Structure 1
Amino acid sequence: MYDYIIVGAGSAGCVLANRLSADPGCRVLLLEAGPRDRNPFIHMPAGLARLVNNRRINWNLETETEPTLDGRRLWWPRGKVLGGSSSINAMCYVRGVPADYDGWAAAGASGWEWAQVLPWFLHSESNSRGGGTLHGDAGPLSVSDLRHHNPLSAAFLDAAVQAGHARNEDFNGAAQLGVGLYQVTQRDGARCSTATAYLRPARTRRNLTVLTGAHATALSFSGDTANGVFFRQGRQHRHAAASGEVILSAGAIHSPQLLMLSGIGAATPLRRHGISVRANLPGVGGNLQDHLDICTLVHTEPGVSYDRSNQARIAFDYFLRGHRGAGSSNIAEAGGFARSILATDARADVQFHFVPAMLDNHGRHRLPGDGYTLHACALHPRSRGRILLRDADAASAPRIEANYLSDADGADLAMMKECVRMSAAILRQPAFDRWRGAPIFPPRQDLDEAALTAFIRAKAETIYHPVGTCAMGTHADAVVDPQLRVRGLRRLRVVDASVMPTLVSGNTNAPTIMLAERAAQWILQDAARS
């Protein structure tokens, strides 16, 4: 018997495990389907390139065929390891902007205004530049400047300025617009995942139990009250009981899947799979949003990019020199935020990630030669997808229907075209003259509208930011209330990126950590009142 059971030891689950188990009177169980984070390439930042095809620590998901993207099934990597996706991501620390959160509150997620969430960002953060009104310096999550960046990343910054973008030393400062080097979730040149930042300090607590290789299969209930979790560990089918709360932190794909497997979701499809309906919540799995990304690739001269780097030598140098050198690079070193000609408000609507290497199909397709890649994603898509059950078996991957570029007025496709055009404008600036070789993707810059559309449909990919599938709010399709409690049920919350009503203007890891910090306080307050 535990007071709290947390399903998923990812970006949110590790935060909750730490904060809830800080009370020695609370017994906390943390369930993680994947293994411990022992792989050394997790902790060496540049090692993320070696994690791409590691199925042991990656759910290795795929969408269904996407009609607007040439019927392709897009690869969706998600962390399946302690730390979750914070153990395999590119470590960019970005919060979004105040208008993102004020928009949540205005749409019904009361209490989530920027003024309410900023203290929790600060509470989590330990920034190497020090604290202040917009940064924390005493939290568990280390945020640092890069120790190493490639000359091509410096060329990108110069080129972007030549193209009319401002320099910005802090995307989480007073203004987000502009280009610069990303600050990263690193500590002393090593990855600072939530497993490192939050779980490791708590592992010695006797009231915290962490089970890895434990795949949750369904929730248990007494009437309308959640009281435990069924899970599979190896060949054993087990059950853990909770006297307090059950908290789902399995992410935007697996949290709605687990709810549906437990009879919580739209009634008709649940019955079709032979699942008894416990709560008819049609919003479960809906409202799926993601940042669609398009890459522009250009060849460069041999020896400067990371394409043919000696990885063994980089690793040896990294560990020998105290986590310095190219091994400390997050690969996506530079980037920025911009407003396109299609922007509808004052926020950035395009984000750039520059990579001094050629990345095709997430780096899974190796190209000959050397080059560099400029990612550009549209930050506020109108298209919505959904997560569906494939069947009633928890071992089956859910159906992911991302429905990219499916908005009725074609605004998302128009935005992706602007992403390509803005990327081209940067890459043709004089700062790249000494590095610029032949174009790779797109093969030439003078594409007409039809060719530009065809390029996007053939090459656009996720940049790994799914949210929204258990959205919070007070509207009819909301799955959780503004304190992240599942509507119509007791002692059950969802705390992860799935509760975000809409995408923030940027990467989603830091906002997910903030969500968990805030939820932990509510959970403890509710327990104190009961």
Structure 2
Amino acid sequence: MGSGVRRARRTLIAEGKMTEQSMQFDYIVVGAGSAGCVLANRLSRDPNNRVCLVEGGGSDRTPRIHVPAGTITLYKSERYAYQFMSEPQTHLNNRRIHVPRGRMLGGSSSMNSMIYIRGDRSDYDTWAAMGCPGWSYDDLLPFFKEAEDNRLGQSPDFHGRGGELAVDKPRDPNPASRRFVEAAKEIGIAENSDFNGAKLEGVGIYNLTQKDAKRLSSYRAFVHPVLSRANLTVMTDARVERLDIVGGAVTGVTLTKDGKSLTLRAARETVLAAGALGSPEILLKSGIGDGAELRAVGMDVRHHLPGVGKNLQDHLDGLVTVRSHDSSTLGFSAGSMPRVLASPLKYLAKKAGWLTTNYVEAGGFARTKYAGDVPDVQFHFVPGYRSHRGRLFEWGHGYAIHTCVLRPESRGSVFPKRTNGQAELGIDFRFIDKEQDARVLVEGMRLARRILGASPFAGIRGAEIAPGPKRMSDEALMDYVRSDASTVFHPSGTCRMGNDEGAVVTPDLKVRGLANLRIADASIMPTLISGNTNAPSIMIGQKCAAMMLAG
């Protein structure tokens, strides 16, 4: 079949116009997010490999995605995000936690805060020590460097140039972000100019995955530039209903697109890269998981694999937010309105101004009294008033620090359930099931308060709205955690990698007990990394592709 015919065929498939019910590829990648886009790129480099990238969401063609400041509008969007809600959290006053995940090309890398963090060396060395050879920091650093196009002149010992993923500084950070760094230094937390270098600990202005003042999602970095490859098919708005299994081997997927059922066949392998919620959900819908759990909700058991959905981890977050009368911070007021109205023109003309912000311009990593040799909390500083009521925008000004627990001890799960007869995914983080997580968070918020009380904030000082001056004791802060703590949107661990009976995938990312199926996304993490999960997920996609191509 000529390349022109293949291109036409690929376009017809993507538009849902083909009538045949079975399409053949060498590799099927499910999920066009952080890891899946890298896999599609690397596997399709060889023109002899027919690759299909399947995405349940739609296009990313909207300024809300590409203009950095648009990220705040995506989290509650039905069009661009799956609006998951957790089960009532027993230790958080039975609150349900909102868990949005990307529903478009690029997945959650098209709606995150664009922060480029790899985590601590010890995270990966711990994976290797847990029975995952080939996953130590030294093993993985080449994959991080290969993908990176570092625009900051940082050390080549840790950084790459010429990769697809541009890493740069914020274009026009708010002055309050620099105040945060100076304030943290005043209380004894050192400045760190490279969180992805020799050490993680410290504070600074975050590096971002942006290019030319626009978001650089995994899709825009790895897939969009190679769409002309005749051997690469990208299918959007395609919901995978199940993995097809014949004789203990996965042969492909059955999906729904435009109301029609379509079966795709993979001659070599199928890879799930649908994320820490999506990948276990597809396994469970396919009858792969804990047999007792599946039978309890009336689902067939195709392969008993009890670890599916277990080991759920996430970064628990506590907010300290301050009201200020200073209109130099991000916000809406009479004083800021001229800048707000001028921001579109400033963005278009100079690639500067409010629209370049990712809202979390600065932050860092620190140790509480409970920490060992590595940080146990992370700060995300917002140079604007962060609503304590859950609103996207509040009238007025201020600033805030989000503090999260880097290495949670609590473990939750995702599991099959039925609501009104419909199969659904249950999500139970079991946040602060281990009370030590709450203790670490309380101490982290105390550090955040000390930073906000330091002299660099004197010129814009305001009143603390949350937790508020009435919540000073450990007991009061514990109550605040239970009533207000939430997630930083880093779910992981639900298809854990390892060599024991509870693992879902082996260190080569093959699903235990099934042929021709791998998983490559944050779900395979044995333990949650110390930081934002986009860069590690991209690395996981790269390593998976390398193992697949090596045979």
TM over 0.5: yes
Give the match for residue 366 of structure 2: 338
Residue 472 of structure 1, aligned match among 472, 497, 518: 497
Please say if 1:347 is aligned against 2:347: no
Greater mean deviation of Cα atoms: 309-318 or 163-172: 309-318
Please say if 1:516 is aligned against 2:541: yes
Residue 65 of structure 1, aligned match among 71, 83, 88: 88
Read off the aligned partner of 1:253 and give its amino acid letter: L
Give the match for residue 438 of structure 2: 413
1:349-403 C-alpha deviation (Å, 9 max, x unpaired): 0100100112236953544421111011010000000001123999854111010
Residue 217 of structure 1, aligned match among 234, 241, 244: 241
Please say if 1:189 is aligned against 2:228: no
- SS across alignment from 1:219: strand
Give the match for residue 105 of structure 2: 82
User: What percentage of residue pairs aligned between the two structures are identical?
Assistant: 43
Any conservation in 1 of the 2:192–2:203 contact (CA below 8 Å)? yes
Any conservation in 1 of the 2:310–2:412 contact (CA below 8 Å)? yes
Q: Distance in 2 between matches of 1:390 and 1:359?
A: 35
Q: Distance in 2 between matches of 1:381 and 1:5?
A: 34
Q: 1:314 to 1:50 in 2, by over 3 A?
A: farther
Greater mean deviation of Cα atoms: 512-521 or 449-458: 449-458
Q: Distance in 2 between matches of 1:416 and 1:271?
A: 38
Q: CA deviation at 1:305?
A: 1.8
1:236-275 matches, cutoff 5 A: 236-275=260-299
Please say if 1:481 is aligned against 2:506: yes
Q: CA deviation at 1:276?
A: 2.1
Q: CA deviation at 1:84?
A: 0.5
Any conservation in 2 of the 1:361–1:461 contact (CA below 8 Å)? no
Give the match for residue 318 of structure 1: 347
Q: Distance in 1 between matches of 2:503 and 2:225?
A: 35
Q: CA deviation at 1:449?
A: 2.4
Read off the aligned partner of 1:340 and give its amino acid letter: T
Please say if 1:398 is aligned against 2:421: no
Q: 1:363 to 1:45 in 2, by over 3 A?
A: farther
Any conservation in 2 of the 1:217–1:394 contact (CA below 8 Å)? no
Read off the aligned partner of 1:259 and give its amino acid letter: L
1:266-285 matches, cutoff 5 A: 266-285=290-309
- SS across alignment from 1:217: strand
Structure 1 segments of 4+ aligned residues over 6 angstroms from their partners: 392-395
Provide the TM-score with structure 2 as the length reference. Answer: 0.92
Q: Distance in 2 between matches of 1:291 and 1:342?
A: 17
Read off the aligned partner of 1:333 and give its amino acid letter: E
Q: 1:126 to 1:374 in 2, by over 3 A?
A: same
Please say if 1:328 is aligned against 2:356: yes
Q: CA deviation at 1:171?
A: 0.5
The Cα RMSD (Å) is 1.7
Give the match for residue 383 of structure 1: 410
Q: CA deviation at 1:446?
A: 5.6
Q: 1:312 to 1:271 in 2, by over 3 A?
A: farther
- SS across alignment from 1:391: strand
Q: Distance in 1 between matches of 2:73 and 2:326?
A: 21
1:112-161 C-alpha deviation (Å, 9 max, x unpaired): 01110000000110000246110001111000011111111111111111
Read off the aligned partner of 2:146 and give its amino acid letter: H
Q: CA deviation at 1:445?
A: 6.4
Read off the aligned partner of 1:227 and give its amino acid letter: T
Q: CA deviation at 1:110?
A: 1.4
Read off the aligned partner of 1:334 and give its amino acid letter: A
Please say if 1:457 is aligned against 2:482: yes
Residue 356 of structure 1, aligned match among 383, 387, 393: 383
Read off the aligned partner of 2:160 and give its amino acid letter: G
Any conservation in 2 of the 1:267–1:281 contact (CA below 8 Å)? yes
Read off the aligned partner of 1:380 and give its amino acid letter: R
Give the match for residue 324 of structure 2: 300
Q: 1:497 to 1:127 in 2, by over 3 A?
A: same
Any conservation in 2 of the 1:52–1:364 contact (CA below 8 Å)? no
Q: CA deviation at 1:314?
A: 2.1
Q: Distance in 1 between matches of 2:541 and 2:237?
A: 23
Structure 1: gaps spanning 5 or more residues: none
Q: Distance in 1 between matches of 2:423 and 2:329?
A: 40
Read off the aligned partner of 2:209 and give its amino acid letter: T
Q: 1:45 to 1:214 in 2, by over 3 A?
A: same
Please say if 1:173 is aligned against 2:202: no
Please say if 1:9 is aligned against 2:32: yes
Greater mean deviation of Cα atoms: 286-295 or 274-283: 274-283
Any conservation in 1 of the 2:367–2:375 contact (CA below 8 Å)? yes
Q: 1:446 to 1:73 in 2, by over 3 A?
A: closer
Any conservation in 2 of the 1:35–1:80 contact (CA below 8 Å)? yes
Q: CA deviation at 1:235?
A: 1.0
Residue 97 of structure 1, aligned match among 117, 120, 140: 120
Q: Distance in 1 between matches of 2:368 and 2:321?
A: 21
Read off the aligned partner of 2:103 and give its amino acid letter: K
How many aligned residue pairs are there? Answer: 522
Q: 1:92 to 1:306 in 2, by over 3 A?
A: same
Q: Distance in 2 between matches of 1:313 and 1:81?
A: 30
Residue 136 of structure 1, aligned match among 154, 160, 177: 160
Q: Distance in 1 between matches of 2:111 and 2:256?
A: 24
Q: 1:79 to 1:361 in 2, by over 3 A?
A: farther
Q: Distance in 1 between matches of 2:395 and 2:420?
A: 42
Q: 1:325 to 1:365 in 2, by over 3 A?
A: closer
Q: 1:393 to 1:233 in 2, by over 3 A?
A: farther
Any conservation in 2 of the 1:424–1:445 contact (CA below 8 Å)? no
Q: 1:365 to 1:406 in 2, by over 3 A?
A: same
Please say if 1:443 is aligned against 2:468: yes
1:59-118 C-alpha deviation (Å, 9 max, x unpaired): 011111111111111111110100001000001100011111000010111110111000
